[in-house]
Amino acid sequence: MNDHPLSSNVAICKGCADYANRADVEALVLQAIEILHLSESFITPGDHVVIKPNWVKEHDERHPQPGNWEHVVTHPSVIEAVADWVASRLNGSGEITICDAPQTDSSFDKIREYCKLDEMIERLCSKHPKISISLLDLRPEEWHGVDGITVSKKKLPGDPLGSTHLHLDEASEFYQFKGLGKLFGASVDVDETNRKHADSNHEYLLCRTPMDADVFINIPKMKTHKKVGITCALKNLVGINANKNWLPHHTEGTPDRGGDQFPTSTTKAKLEHSWMGAAKRWMVKCPLLARVFVPIKSVGRLFFGDTQSVVRSGNWYGNDTCWRMVLDLNKGFFYFNGAAQPRVKPLRYLTIVDGIIGGEGNGPMSPDPVHSGLIIAGTHPLAVDCAVARCVGFDWNRIRMLRNAFEIRQLNFVGFKPEDMTYQSSVDAPPQPLEKMNPFFYFRAHFGWKGAIELSPQFEKAPIRGSNN
């Protein structure tokens, strides 16, 4: 079915540790692409190429200011280098769409302003006048939040091609999951999330533009993640969703009650779960109560603690929910087209990771910058993510999103074994086993994951909880 087989080999290139010189960034990107030895037919004239960056937020949540975003989102110089390479392959005929569905409470206008995306598009269009190059916010609506509480919503045009409604059902990683009925998605409307994931019914709504692309190029940011350990190629597909409340992020409740919302079954955790559950139900019934709840939440923070330092909402290594959603999205993308029919055309897929400035610690919204100088590329997202984990000093086998991808029951999109993963750092160098690569860095994990996933012997290993059920 696929004339462009997905490879378990990954290119890892180290160079400039900032974005000051666009030519240096472009050279590093092209070096990584060259190592992969992509065929001439990978991109051909007339193709529609979709480029998917990671525009999760317009700034570091702790310090919302114009210059504080380079470690949070995919940098425009990396996007531009990739788009320029694509346009050269299209040879005057084709279309490039650069698109994402950022976190719903992000401001796309601010992202465009801070990252100077319109200037980037103008340069690309001027250099390649025969290629249609566009920028697209895939979201159907944008939320305005105050202290994490959604107080208003604005309708947006969304994906001009519409959406793809997928029923994974028994092929879903949520099939027979013990947390069904207690899933939490992207908003206080938990009933909607649990209607889409009940018994043998498991649904997702994906944006059709990326689903219908001839070539899909994933450009994630290299960061830690509070719910799945790291965010890179696999997790970046959250940004092709038309309704993020269909995406389960954690299972409500304490561990003794089958939940992964909190790491321990303390009295305070049970009280917070009960209190927050009641508040969510009231806000669904009466959305106007959201503004009233903002100062109440501030008071509650004094008693329950701030999320920047207290583990809640599934922000820890025991989250047995979010990884299932991530793998489901990748199944849907690899196996189905925009009409929700099985793919018959080859899926041409490429990941190029922006690790020039990575993010460690409290990712993905409030990480600390690490000037890593890395561009990591590959044609299979799992191999890329495992390589990224190794590069930053994490044990991919202790990150269940990665470990369990090798054990998928149905719609398995992997096709190789862990020992098949290799890496190259130059065109002439032979592929080397990934497991023999020394880490470039030892990133600090999110505090909810500390001690659970690090390769460094300085960390005492925490037990792995949950399993691939």
Q: What is the pLDDT of residues 366-390, one digit of tens each?
A: 999 999 999 999 999 999 999 999 9
Which residue's structure tokens are 């531009």?
Answer: 80
Contacts of 133 (CB under 8 A, 6+ apart): 83, 87, 95, 96, 98, 121, 124, 125
Cis peptide before 287, with omega less than 30 degrees from 0? no
Cα 88–89–93 angle (5° rounding)?
A: 85
- Separation in Å, CA 264 to CA 116, 299, 312, 313, 448: 44, 22, 10, 12, 12
pLDDT band at 266 (very low <50, low <70, confident <90, very high): confident
CB crowding 425-450: b at 16 or more within 10 Å, else e: eeeeeeeeebeebebbbebbbbbbbb
Question: Alpha-carbon distance 441 to 223, whole Å?
Answer: 12
- The highest-confidence range among 88-92, 112-116, 304-308, by mean pLDDT, is 88-92
**What are the tokens at 169?**
């059902």
Q: What's the confidence (pLDDT) of residue 465? A: 40
Residues 178-192 as b or e (16 or more Cβ within 10 Å = b): ebbebbbbbbbbbee
Say if residue 37's pLDDT is above 70.
yes
pLDDT per position as a tens digit, 123-155: 999 999 999 999 999 999 987 765 565 667 889
Average pLDDT over residues 66-78: 89
Q: What's the confidence (pLDDT) of residue 459?
A: 53
Cα separation of 62 and 50, whole Å? Answer: 31
What are the tokens at 66?
A: 């114009």
Place of tokens 């107080």: 151
Examine the pLDDT at 466 and tell me if it is beyond 50: no
285 versus 268: which is more confidently predicted? 268
Alpha helix locations (H) across 51-174?
76-90, 108-115, 117-127
Q: What is the pLDDT of residue 103?
A: 87
CA dihedral 341, 344, 348, 351 (to 10 degrees): 40
What pLDDT is stored for residue 297 in this prediction? 59
149 burial via Cβ count (<10 Å: 0-12, 13-18, 19+)? buried
User: Cα–Cα distance between 80 and 115 in angstroms, integer?
Assistant: 12
Give the pLDDT of residue 456. 72
- Residue scoring higher pLDDT (285 or 188): 188
Contact 260, 318 (CB under 8 A): yes
Mean pLDDT, the chain, rounded, equals 90
Contact by Cβ (8 Å): 8, 423: no
Residue 352's beta-bridge partner residues?
A: 377
